[in-house]
Amino acid sequence: MIAETAVKLRQNIQKVIVGKDEIIDLTLIAMLCGGHLLLEDVPGTGKTTLAKTIAASLGCTFHRVQFTPDLLPSDVTGIYYYNQKSQEFEFRPGPIISQILLADEINRATPRTQSALLEAMQERQVTVDIATHKLPQPFLVLATQNPVELEGTFPLPEAQLDRFLMKSPSVTPADASEENDILLRLNGKIC
């Protein structure tokens, strides 16, 4: 039953993602194992589209966080704010409260902000102030990172790397045949 579902899911993803079978398989393996996946590559190779497609194929909630040097941990986890109408503190969830989270360019944020993902990835919950919030299931973090030699990147700490089940090989650019297939699909002429 699981194998049949995985095959159908893979076929559905392949309707959108062209020529990235190995990455699709690694992502499905990570999800089925309850793990997370780190994708290392340059921008523009379909990583965001892959994450969105998986979420849509599974009917899961999806959020994307663009990691930048000025991103704060609370921008990821959420905050409690004072609601003047109700005169109470209310929780405003951050994008981590989702089933599929794309942590885009994770190594552009400071290690302090990167660590906002640690509890969520390990324990499937986030603690904000004194309250703990369970994350919806399934919960998958697909993180992208730019090659470390690029300017403005921070190396991921060992504790962060340890939370990933797998690190994918480089997502290769599409070849000429795959580019043609992509263009046909964009024009709505899927053959």
Q: Which DSSP string corresponds to 73-120?
A: HHHHHEEEEEETTTTEEEEEE-TTSSSEEEEETGGGS-HHHHGGGHHH
Per-residue pLDDT, 95? 95
pLDDT in tens, 56-97: 988 999 999 999 999 999 999 999 999 999 999 999 999 999
Mean pLDDT (whole number) for 126-147: 90
Mean pLDDT (whole number) for 137-147: 88
User: pLDDT-derived band of residue 177, with 50, 70 and 90 as boundaries?
Assistant: low
Helical packing angle, 21-32 and 47-58, nearest 10°:
50
**For strand 62-66 and strand 88-93, is the pairing parallel, antiparallel, or unpaired?**
unpaired
State percent of the chain over pLDDT 90: 41
Per-residue pLDDT, 174? 62
Q: Is there a contact between 163 and 12 (Cβ–Cβ < 8 Å)?
A: no
Helix, strand, or coil (residue 122): helix
Q: Where does the chain show beta strands of DSSP type E?
A: 37-40, 62-66, 78-83, 88-93, 100-104, 125-128, 131-134, 140-145, 166-168
Query: Amino acid identity of 84?
Result: Q
Torsion of CA 82, 83, 86, 88, to 10 degrees: -20
Q: Kindly list the domain boundaries of the chain, sorted by start residue.
A: 2-186
60/147: higher pLDDT: 60
User: pLDDT-derived band of residue 191, with 50, 70 and 90 as boundaries?
Assistant: very low
pLDDT in tens, 4-14: 888 888 888 88
Mean pLDDT (whole number) for 145-155: 71
Query: Amino acid identity of 69?
Result: P
Per-residue pLDDT, 182? 61
Task: Please name the residues in contact with 84: beta carbons below 8 A apart, sequence gap of 6 or more.
Answer: none
Helix, strand, or coil (residue 44): coil
pLDDT in tens, 24-37: 888 888 888 899 99
Q: Between 3.40.50.300, 3.40.50.2000, 1.10.287.3510, 3.90.1150.10, what CATH number should domain 2-186 receive?
A: 3.40.50.300
Task: Please name the residues in contact with 11: beta carbons below 8 A apart, sequence gap of 6 or more.
Answer: none
